[in-house]
Every structure is written in structure tokens, then in C-alpha cells.
Amino acid sequence: MKNFSDYKSEISKCSKCGLCQAVCPVYKETGNECAVSKGKFVMLDGVLRGDLRLNKNINKYLDLCLKCGKCSEFCPSGIDVCKIFETAKYEYVKNTIFGKIVFFLESKLIFGSIIKMFSQKRDIKKHDGGSLKIIYFKGCVGNIFPQTAKLLENFSNIEIIEKDFECCGIPFLSSGNLERYEEVKSHNLELLKGDYDFILTDCASCESTIRGYFEKDNCPKFINLGEFLVKENIKFKSKKHLKVTFHKPCHLGNADFIKSLIDNCENIEYAEMENFDDCCGFAGEFALKNRKLSKAISEKKAQNILKTGADYVITTCPSCILGLKQGLSGKKNAPKVLSLSEFLTKFDNYFPSSQAF
Ligand code: SF4
Ligand code: SF4
């Protein structure tokens, strides 16, 4: 695990070009220069030079971040922004009373037991010797709501491998609990050893976090639920004509599957919303610590959703579901917000293409 001071040269790569300001949802909403990576790097550089103290004020600005990674994508200096913020946060929070309480609540004993308590035990029927071997990373929410497991049970030609994974670690990265993140990472990495074709996820945040366990050229292949259903050419059929729109989570690398997936759904029309990849404004801890701001970003998103006139808005991240619900709350004619698997399992008939209809 790297120390904050190890990022000195990375932080100095920031040329203060300000391109991150054009894409940062927090900066767009607040116009506050300390809220975007450029401003945060000025402060963190000051800390590493000994001119500033890493204190509660700087931590407040570290918390003013959705960890959406949009600034990293656009940064011409290629800075891994979120890694630096997480490490700086750990450096500050580990020695505070509040941090110690949070770290205790996030321990395996407490956090792990709460997830276990709410989990519904649903082992997917084993189909050994299938043409594809897929490791299914359920994630915490997948353990509680087993719709994806219900869908996957239909694939007798595929070997779905389930393992006793812990949380991917994204809540711990957000809270600065890098010790706990390292713990779940090494547990999960051990279980990801072996022979398989893909890791399947139905949560964009889980997938991007697990990808972060690996070096880029050493990363196993991933497939998300939507891509998998398109690859297998699965058809769905709704009795009623429905209009759906899709919110692309910030952590979802590629949303190309969505149009093909909806094309495979009889009686369902796809209505793309304007800026479908704009952040929903939630991001777990961010919404708790910055309630007004989080709501304002969610409300903007909600306006684009409402313009589509959709019956459903679907997405592939549990945190985004909360953000979309937050923005749409109290709005007239608001569509229902569902995860992709919740939406698809509403239909009685879903089949591999050879058996469809
Ligand atoms: S885009 Fe990158 S280099 Fe430019 S100001 Fe933002 S963080 Fe610095
Ligand atoms: S990660 Fe997102 S919210 Fe945070 S500074 Fe970058 S663009 Fe802004």
C-alpha cells in the first residue's frame, strides 16, 4: 500500500490546465475551485511541501468529490486522481476519533455480519462442464436481491462459479479505510485465482473496483450482465408496450450493450435520455455528507429522465438507483427506477434465442 507522500511526483504532474473543471459535476454545480481536482492538487501539493496541514478543512474538500473519475478520463497528464484522494483521506482520517469509529463499523465483524444478516441464500444451480466458465461476483447488493442469480439459473450451457467473496471494497475507498480495502482485496484476489473465461458482474461500481485490483496488462476479462445477455442473444417479451431509458453509471466502462439488449425485448421501446452518462449525484458517502449538493445534481439528472416520457429508468449500479430515486422523488409522472436485472426478471418469458417465442 502506497503512502500519501509517495504521490508527490504524481501530484506535481498537474499542469493546472483546468480541463477537469469542464467535466466535474461538483464544480459545474458549485463553481468552487477547491472542489475539483485542480484545486485539490494545489492544496495537497501545499501539504507535501510542508506549507499546509492536512486538516479537517482539506478533508472537507476531499469529501466534496463523487469519485466519478470523469476528471481522470479527461486529464491530459493522465493522473489517477481518485487513488490520490483516497490515500490523502486515509492519511488524515486514520488518526481521528471519527475515523476509528468508521473503521470499526466497516470491519468484517460489523459490516460483514450486517451483509450476511440481510443476504438471501440463493446458490445458482450448478451446470458443470458448460462451454463457458464464468465467475459471478454478486457484490453486497446482489447478495441481498438475488434477481441476477434468478436470471443466470437459466443457462444450462454455462458453468457459473460462485465463491465466498467479500464486498469489492468501494465503500472503504470512499471512507478512506484503505486497511479494510486491502483486506477485502487480498481475500477476493485469492478467490479469483484459477481457470475461467470471464468475471461477471451486475454492478458497475463492483466491476471498476475489482479491475483496480489488477495492473492494466494483467487484468482478467470481465463481462457485465447486459453484455452477457446480448452475447447469448437472450430474448425477452413484455405483454404491455413499455418505454425505458437507461442511466449510464460513471463507473460503467461501456454502455454499448443497452440498445442491442432492448432490441431483443419485444414490446419494449428504448428512449435515450440527454447526457445519459451524467452523474446521478449520489455516490454513497457523498450524499450523506453533502445532502443539498447531492440532491441538486440528482435533480438535474431527473429533468433529462422526465423528458424521455419513459415508464422505467434502468441502470446497473445500486448507488445510482438511490441517486435517481432521490432526483425523481415527488416528480409528477416519474418513471420507476429499477436495476437491469430487476427490470428483466419482471417478464415471465426469457429464453435463449433458439427457444424464444
Ligand atoms: S485536467 Fe489534470 S492536469 Fe489539468 S488541472 Fe485537472 S488534474 Fe490538473
Ligand atoms: S472524481 Fe468526479 S467529482 Fe471528484 S473531482 Fe473528479 S470529476 Fe470532480
More confident residue, 349 or 302: 302
Question: Given this model, what pLDDT does residue 345 score?
Answer: 85
| Distance (Å) from CA 85 to ligand 2 centroid | 10
Mutation probe of ligand 2 site: the residue of 34, 75, 81 with most atoms within 8 A of C-beta: 81
- What is the number of the ligand 1 atom nearest to the C-alpha of 77? 3
Ligand 1 close to Cβ of residue 18 (< 6 A): yes
- What is the number of the ligand 2 atom nearest to the C-alpha of 66? 3
Three-class secondary structure of residue 69 per DSSP: coil
| Distance (Å) from CA 356 to ligand 2 centroid | 44
Mutation probe of ligand 2 site: the residue of 26, 86, 285, 289 with most atoms within 8 A of C-beta: 26
Q: What mean pLDDT is reported for the chain?
A: 91
The CATH number of domain 235-355, selected from 3.40.50, 3.30.310, 3.10.450, 3.30.43: 3.40.50
Reported pTM: 0.92
Given a cut of 90, whether residue 94 has pLDDT beyond it is yes
Q: What is the pLDDT of residues 305-357, one digit of tens each?
A: 999 999 999 999 999 999 999 999 999 999 999 999 999 988 765 555 444 32
Ligand 1 close to Cβ of residue 37 (< 6 A): yes
> Could you give the maximum distance between any two Cα atoms of the chain, in Å?
69
Question: Given this model, what pLDDT does residue 205 score?
Answer: 95
For residues 123-143, give the mean pLDDT: 77
Residue ranges matching CATH 1.10.1060.10 in the chain: 4-93
Query: What fold does the segment set 4-93 form as a domain?
Result: Fumarate Reductase Iron-sulfur Protein; Chain B, domain 2 (1.10.1060)
Residue ranges matching CATH 3.40.50 in the chain: 118-228, 235-355
For residue 285, which amino acid is it?
E
Determine whether 344 is exposed, middle or buried from the number of CB atoms within 10 Å of its CB (0-12, 13-18, 19+).
Answer: buried
Angle at the Cα of 89 (from 88 to 90), degrees rounded to 5?
90
Q: What is the pLDDT of residues 239-270, one digit of tens each?
A: 889 999 999 999 999 999 999 999 999 999 99
Nearest-CA neighbor of 102 among 29, 199, 175, 37? 175
More confident residue, 65 or 160: 65
Question: Given this model, what pLDDT does residue 355 score?
Answer: 40
| Distant-in-sequence contacts of 150-153, Cβ < 8 A, 24+ apart | 150/122, 150/341, 150/345, 151/225, 151/229, 151/341, 151/344, 151/345, 151/350, 152/124, 152/200, 153/124, 153/125
Q: What would be the CATH architecture of the domain defined by 118-228? A: 3-Layer(aba) Sandwich (3.40)
* 138 in Cβ contact with 162 (< 8 Å): yes
Least confident of 31-45, 111-125, 299-313: 111-125
- pLDDT bucket at 153, cuts 50 / 70 / 90: confident
Residue identifier of the C-alpha nearest atom 6 of ligand 2:
71
Q: Which ligand is nearest to the CA of 78?
A: 1
For the chain, give the percent of residues with pLDDT over 70.
Answer: 94
- What is the number of the ligand 1 atom nearest to the C-alpha of 21? 6
Residue 209 CB partners (closer than 8 Å, separation 6+): 168, 169, 170, 173, 251
Least confident of 35-44, 182-191, 202-211, 340-349: 340-349
Q: What is the pLDDT of residues 37-68, one digit of tens each?
A: 999 999 999 999 999 999 999 999 999 999 99
φ, ψ for residue 136 (rounded to 5)? -100, 115
φ, ψ for residue 219 (rounded to 5)? -85, 135
Which residues on neighbouring strands pair with residue 269, listed in sequence order? 243
| Distance (Å) from CA 9 to ligand 2 centroid | 20
More confident residue, 129 or 156: 156
